[in-house]
Amino acid sequence: MGTTTIHTANRLLPLKLLNGRELSFDMPLVMGIVNITPDSFYDGGKYESPEDAVAQANKLVAEGAAIIDVGAASTRPNAVFLKPEEELKRLLPVLDALIKSNPEIIISVDTFHAEVAKKVVEHGASIINDVSGGTMDDTMFKTVGKLKAPYILMHMQGTPETMQHNPTYEDVTKEVYNFLSAQVDKARYFGVKQIIVDTGFGFGKTVEHNYTLLHNLGTFRRLGLPILAGVSRKSMVNKVLKTKAQNALTGTIALNTIALLQGANILRVHDAKEAKEVIKIVNQYLYPSTEV
């Protein structure tokens, strides 16, 4: 395969990780999901033990995932918060096992607690993925700024416990864009230099809101930052196709294709092989002269 690029409107700088490595955005990246929770909407309970989490992470990496996103607290609708100490009790044994198994693995941790962010970076995590975009812990930006870790800043209306209780917007694209822009400015004020934005599909949005955001995803390129799209097996697939998460791979592939065409730089997925193949196909579509 020749070296090829799915271009976006902005030339994006690579992520500089704390271990000295870099992640380039010359091609979109796959982020593989490993939920170590008993209650996540799709794979809850499958990877709670360090051994099972390591096996799944290694499978995702072998299939093309550049990043492994580990979550210890479910953020599905109606999810109840975990305290930081409970979250860390689940996270740290898995993080240690992952890094022992593969010292080169790039781990993102899904948390909105600054205390958790600090501890997981000390244990070798490279990226902090905050579904609250800095709104649920007012020390998060200051903490991440000191850690100098890349930070994923997501939009969510409400909290996981309340977000799907009648979400309402006058203009969902404008409101999500304005939130992300304002929070990026706040994060930068506290020294957070490497930011990825996420519109938060399914987090305080109806099906209509989700598809409006997907249709307008290219608008978010104006922020000049990498865009993460997380649509994998979510209700925006299932409600349209009248299916369940377990049968939502085809719909996920379709949405990931659209997201890439709109400029997404990272696909957050449960199925790395299929996402990697989507990236290759979309690249060939955009640049048919590419050598294969």
SS3 for 190-215 is CCCCCEEEECCCCCCCCHHHHHHHHH
Question: Lowest-pLDDT range, 55-69, 74-88, 161-175, 246-260?
Answer: 74-88
| DSSP element (H, E) containing 281 | helix 272-286
Task: Please state, rounded to an integer, the average pLDDT across all residues of the chain.
Answer: 90
pLDDT for 145 equals 98
Please indicate whether residue 118 is annotated as part of the active site.
no
pLDDT for 49 equals 82
Please state at what angle helix 140-147 crosses helix 114-122, rounded to 10 degrees: 20
Task: Tell me the average pLDDT across 132-151.
Answer: 97
pLDDT for 268 equals 98
- Exactly one of 234, 239, 242, 273 is catalytic; which is it? 234
pLDDT in tens, 248-286: 999 999 999 999 999 999 999 999 999 999 999 999 999
Residue, of 7 and 43, whose pLDDT is higher: 43
pLDDT for 44 equals 46
pLDDT for 46 equals 63
Please indicate whether residue 221 is annotated as part of the active site.
no
pLDDT for 11 equals 81
Residue 9: burial class (beta carbons within 10 Å; 0-12, 13-18, 19+):
exposed
Task: Tell me the average pLDDT across 58-69.
Answer: 97
267: nearest Cα among 44, 25, 19: 25
Where do we find the tokens 């989700």? 210
Contacts (Cβ under 8 Å, ≥6 apart) of 98: 50, 53, 54, 57, 68, 70, 105, 107
pLDDT for 37 equals 78
- Exactly one of 76, 205, 268, 276 is catalytic; which is it? 268
Question: Lowest-pLDDT range, 72-86, 117-131, 181-195, 241-255?
Answer: 72-86
Q: Per-residue pLDDT for 238 more than 70?
A: yes
Residue, of 164 and 175, whose pLDDT is higher: 175
Q: Per-residue pLDDT for 200 more than 70?
A: yes
Indicate the pTM of the whole model.
Answer: 0.91
Q: Per-residue pLDDT for 4 more than 60?
A: no
Task: Tell me the average pLDDT across 34-53.
Answer: 69
SS3 for 52-112 is HHHHHHHHHHHCCCCEEEEECCCCCCCCCCCCHHHHHHHHHHHHHHHHHHCCCCCEEEECC
What is the fold of 15-286?
Answer: TIM Barrel (3.20.20)
- Confidence at 216, pLDDT banded by 50, 70, 90: very high
Q: What is the DSSP string of 232-254?
A: TT-HHHHHHHT--GGG-HHHHHH
Task: Tell me the average pLDDT across 137-157.
Answer: 97
Task: Tell me the average pLDDT across 62-70.
Answer: 97
Q: Are 94 and 46 in contact (CB under 8 A)?
A: no
Task: Tell me the average pLDDT across 64-79.
Answer: 83
Residues in the chain: 292
pLDDT for 2 equals 37
Residue spans of the domains in the chain: they are: 15-286
Q: How far apart are CA 206 and CA 168, in angstroms?
A: 8
